[in-house]
């Protein structure tokens, strides 16, 4: 029988590796709480229209990357390729767009895009994101970016403070508002029509459908051509002021940025500020995360006029940036559970009781639960990354004691039966 395997571009996350993920998630929850962001969970499966209406039928995610299919009831559904559109759908569905005031959300979970898998590009990948609804203040853009920078730093990825520093780089741009967009598109069209001989076949098509996407093209010639395309003549005064204030606000917080006039990001709903955090060491897929303002999206999806700003960061890429060390930050380095060895069948109930006593004090523990020789039990404790093993040989039993072994130093202490729990708890604290 052919062996069953996970689909290409999807991965199992096994124990040993999953601890790195849990660390990212729990750190993220702490940082989100610092900013008063509240978690929102939306379904992985949505009506396809949630994304076609928000991202646009012509967006690459919609045309090429969405897992879209008919369900048994004949509805066209899709696995969510990103979080924002679902959250806007939920906001409108529950009338939160009309409640006034600020709505501050974060989310985490898997997203799905049918892309060609490569390093840092998966078909099922995981994002943590933030969306703030209800203000068009440039200070909100600054706060959201500051959150992203703090989150990355809490994970161990620092954003460069001065040019040339190693670490991640914050890049941002001003994409103007809905009144500016036709002027921008016209400028791009005129420019690229004059130079269309140099464009790839895809970009020639984009020239007709959405010239903004040409700025995203990774092909060398299109990229070089695009460099000459952007001036800021089309940006209105209000958007210019907004962007100036964002830059000033970042400066005040000591967050270094680079202004890249060609940064447009893959999604059309962005207005005014758009940003990305790049980790140069990651090769072709080097954006750790990105986001921006989307002041028209809630209205465009059928809701009230509610400005918003947010970002999403990809966990796979953060783990890649942190290197293998982050992904294997498993039980060994965090101390691991206490292993309660059970050397013979009669000891098993007692072992289980000891493990429960540890758990009652909030100390993770694993009991052997099989009558196995000590060597085998210690092997198992090692595999689980346990730093401490509790055991009782014949001698300890005769003396009314319990042996506690430190797996790192190899040192073993015989402790009075009545005191072993306190004794171990003290050691775990220090
Ligand atoms: P986006 O939703 O396209 O703005 O992407 C935000 C972040 O999600 C990116 O910077 C990546 O870190 C991550 N990401 C997007 N697509 C993928 C993918 N196919 N595989 C892994 N990570 C991804």
The token pair that represents 245 in the structure block: 């204030």
Question: Which pairs from 10-15 meet CB under 8 Å and 24+ separation?
Answer: 10/122, 10/123, 10/124, 11/122, 11/124, 15/330
CA of 139 to the centre of ligand 1 (A): 25
| Ramachandran angles phi, psi of 278, nearest 5° | -105, 140
Whose Cα sits closest to atom 16 in ligand 1?
A: 121
In the sheet that 45-47 helps form, which strands lie side by side, from edge to edge? Answer: 45-47, 76-79, 68-70
User: Which residue's CA is the closest to the ligand 1 atom numbered 21?
Assistant: 121
Are 113 and 9 in contact by the 8 Å Cβ rule? The answer is no
User: How crowded is residue 62: how many other Cβ atoms within 10 Å of its Cβ?
Assistant: 19
Query: Which two structure tokens, joined as six digits, stand for 275?
Result: 């940003």
Q: Tell me, what's the pLDDT at 289?
A: 97
pLDDT tens digit string along 71-109? 999 999 999 999 999 999 999 999 999 988 899 999 999
Does residue 271 contact residue 296 with C-beta atoms inside 8 Å? yes
If you take atom 4 of ligand 1, which residue's CA is the nearest one? 290
CB 217 within 8 A of CB 226: yes
Q: Are 264 and 274 in contact (CB under 8 A)?
A: yes
Q: Strand, helix or coil at 11?
A: coil
Residue nearest to atom 9 of ligand 1 (CA): 289
Query: Residues, the chain, total?
Result: 430
State both tokens at 186.
């016209």
Nearest-atom number in ligand 1 for the CA of 122 is: 20
Residues 253, 138: contact at Cβ < 8 Å?
no
How remote is the CA of residue 260 from the centroid of ligand 1, in Å? 19
* Binned average pLDDT, 10 residues per bin, the chain of 430 residues: 96 93 96 95 97 85 92 97 97 95 95 94 98 96 96 91 80 94 89 83 84 83 81 90 96 94 85 95 90 96 97 96 51 70 88 90 87 90 91 91 94 95 91
Give residue 349 CA to ligand 1 midpoint distance, Å: 49
Q: How far is the centre of ligand 1, averaged over its atoms, from the C-alpha of 288 (Å)?
A: 7
DSSP 260: -
pTM for the model: 0.86
Q: What are the tokens at 122?
A: 């998966």
pLDDT at position 198 is 79
What is the atom index within ligand 1 of the atom nearest the CA of 61? 3
User: Which residue's C-alpha comes closest to atom 3 of ligand 1?
Assistant: 266
Write out residues with Cβ below 6 Å of ligand 1.
Answer: 82, 113, 115, 120-122, 125, 127, 266, 287-290, 312-314, 316-317
pLDDT value of residue 333: 46
Supply the pLDDT for residue 330: 38
Cα 356 to ligand 1 centroid, rounded to whole Å:
42
């Amino acid at each position: 029988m052919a062996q069953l395997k996970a689909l290409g571009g999807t991965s199992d996350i096994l124990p040993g590796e999953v601890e790195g993920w849990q660390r990212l998630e729990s750190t993220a929850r702490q940082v989100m709480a610092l900013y008063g962001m509240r978690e929102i969970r939306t379904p992985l499966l949505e009506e396809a229209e949630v994304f076609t209406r928000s991202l646009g039928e012509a967006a690459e995610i919609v045309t090429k990357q969405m897992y879209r299919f008919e369900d048994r009831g004949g509805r066209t559904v899709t696995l969510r390729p990103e979080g924002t559109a679902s959250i806007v759908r939920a906001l409108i569905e529950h009338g939160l767009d009309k409640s006034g005031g600020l709505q501050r959300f974060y989310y985490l979970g898997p997203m799905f895009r049918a892309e060609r898998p490569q390093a840092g590009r998966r078909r099922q990948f995981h994002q943590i994101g933030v969306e703030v609804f209800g203000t068009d203040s440039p200070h909100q853009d600054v706060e959201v970016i500051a959150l992203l920078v703090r989150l990355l730093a809490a994970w161990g990825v620092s954003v460069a403070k001065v040019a040339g520093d190693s670490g991640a780089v914050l890049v941002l741009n001003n994409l103007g508002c809905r009144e500016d967009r036709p002027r921008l598109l016209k400028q791009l069209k005129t420019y690229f029509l004059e130079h269309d001989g140099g464009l790839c076949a895809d970009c020639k098509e984009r020239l007709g459908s959405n010239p903004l996407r040409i700025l995203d093209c990774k092909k060398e010639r299109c990229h070089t051509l695009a460099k000459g395309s952007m001036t800021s003549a089309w940006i209105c005064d209000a958007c210019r002021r907004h962007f100036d204030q964002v830059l000033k606000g970042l400066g005040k917080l000591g967050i270094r940025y680079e202004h890249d006039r060609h940064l447009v990001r893959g999604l059309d709903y962005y207005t005014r500020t758009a940003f990305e955090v790049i980790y140069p060491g990651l090769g072709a897929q080097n954006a750790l995360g990105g986001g921006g303002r989307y002041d028209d999206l809630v209205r465009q999806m059928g809701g009230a006029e509610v400005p918003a700003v947010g970002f999403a960061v990809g966990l796979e890429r953060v783990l890649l940036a942190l290197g293998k060390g982050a992904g294997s930050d498993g039980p060994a380095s965090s101390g691991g559970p206490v292993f309660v060895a059970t050397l013979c069948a009669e000891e098993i109930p007692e072992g289980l009781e000891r493990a429960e006593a540890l758990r009652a004090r909030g100390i993770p523990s694993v009991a052997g639960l099989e009558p196995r020789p000590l060597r085998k039990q210690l092997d198992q404790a090692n595999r689980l990354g346990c730093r401490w093993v509790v055991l009782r040989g014949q001698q300890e039993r005769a003396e009314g004691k319990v042996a506690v072994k430190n797996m790192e130093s190899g040192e073993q202490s015989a402790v009075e039966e009545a005191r072993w729990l306190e004794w171990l708890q003290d050691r775990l604290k220090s």
